[in-house]
Amino acid sequence: MSTPQSGGNRSSAVSAAKKAAAAAKSTAGANTAAGRTAASKATAKAAAKGGPRRPVTPVKVGQGRNWGPIALFVAVGVIAAMIIGYGAYYVYQGSQSWEDKASSISGLINYRKTRPDLMKSGQHQQGTVTYDMNPPAVGPHNPSWQRCLGDVYAAPIATEHAVHSLEHGAVWITYRPDLSKDQVDKLAAKVRGNDFMLMSPFDGLDKPISLQAWGYQLKVDNANDGRIDEFVRDLRQNATAEPGVACSSGDYVTATGTTPRDMSQAQPPAGTGG
């Protein structure tokens, strides 16, 4: 029981000594002798009042700055600031949504902002659909989607099926039919073997290459453009209007060209057991 009490006395003695030292410093300025006297007096007085305590060495003021610890503190401070800065950047980067990342792609067309009326998913209609963008990146579409399991279609496909694939989260790469073979091969290498990707030539493009995701579009001149990979990385599957739906099955026939197929009119595939 006596230990906490003596501790309390000690701290009051310490603060008294501190006050005295500070007062001596402010009034006597550089007069170290006075400061020392006042401090030791106060200490002795406080110690006498508060019971036995360790003797305290008197204050010395007016010495030269102690650069060692200052340099150490500055160094630690700078390193800490760098760590904090890097960490904060890392946290900021990690917290960025895919929308934020995509919006930093220069030249990205965001129909979600400009055409919110088209964003409603599940607008299915048979037959030809007229779109006011070229190629369309969002809007009503055929009930059957184009298979997008990394399919590279050599001939133009029906836009009405492809837009449905975009709704499922696919990225559709289109290119001018006159694009050079090595450029086409480079694009195909990004598509082949990757689900939620499809590619086809497209007539009447205003740029050699155009990429579509649901509500997004990017037009580039060259297959080496680094923004192509950025577009795929940020938007493939992320931009889906129907998370969890697949790219498998669907329409994968290109022989019929750009006319959408009406599945309700089509014959069931041979061998379907009812």
Partner 1 sequence: MTTVANDAPPPDTDGAVAVAPSGRRRFGTAWLAAAIVVGLLLGLLAGLLVPSLRTPGDDAPEAGFARDMSLHHAQAVEMAMITYAKAVDPRTRTIAYDIVMAQQNQIGTMQRWLQEWRLSPTGSQPRMAWMTGGAELVQNGLMPGMATTEEIDALRAATGENVDKMFITLMTKHHLGGLHMVDGILAETHRPEVTALATAMKTGQQNEITAMHQIEVDLDK
Q: Look-up: residue for tokens 């298979």? A: 147
Return the SS3 of 210.
strand
Specify the residue, 204 or 273, whose C-beta has the smaller distance to partner 1: 273
Q: Where are the alpha helices (DSSP H) in the chain?
A: 2-28, 32-50, 67-95, 98-103, 111-114, 159-167, 181-191, 227-235
Q: What are the structure tokens assigned to 6, written together?
A: 């003596």
Q: Which two tokens stand for residue 170?
A: 């696919």
Measure the CA–CA gap between 30 and 62, rounded to whole angstroms: 7
Q: 131 with 159: CB under 8 angstroms?
A: yes
How near is the Cβ of 56 to partner 1 at its closest, in Å? 6
Assess 160 for contact with partner 1 (CB under 8 A).
no
Residue 80 within binding range of partner 1, rule CB under 8 A:
yes
List of residues 6+ apart from 206 with CB closer than 8 A: 134, 219
Nearest-approach distance from CB 224 to partner 1, in angstroms: 16
CB under 8 A: which stretch of 113-121, 133-141, 177-185, 264-272 binds partner 1?
264-272
Q: Could you say whether residue 51 binds partner 1 (CB under 8 A)? A: yes
Site string for partner 1, 105-124 (x = CB under 8 A): --------------------
Stretch that binds partner 1, among 122-130, 172-180, 200-208, 265-273 (CB under 8 A): 265-273
Task: Indicate whether 61 belongs to the interface with partner 1 (CB under 8 A).
Answer: yes
Is 14 near partner 1 (CB under 8 A)?
yes
Alpha carbon separation from 271 to 99, 262, 264, 267, 268 (Å, rounded): 45, 20, 18, 11, 8
Tell which positions 181-240 bind partner 1, by CB under 8 A: 192-196, 229, 232-234, 236-238
Min separation Cβ 148 and partner 1, Å: 10
At residue 213, φ and ψ (nearest 5 deg) are -130, 170
Examine residue 54 and tell whether it contacts partner 1 (CB under 8 A).
yes
Distances (CA, A) of 162 to 33, 90, 167: 92, 37, 9
Q: What are the structure tokens assigned to 220, written together? A: 């580039």
Binding site for partner 1 (CB under 8 A): 2-3, 6-7, 10-11, 14, 17-18, 21, 39, 51-54, 56-61, 63, 66, 69, 73, 76-77, 80, 83-84, 87-88, 90-91, 94-95, 98, 149-151, 192-196, 229, 232-234, 236-238, 243-244, 246-249, 269-273
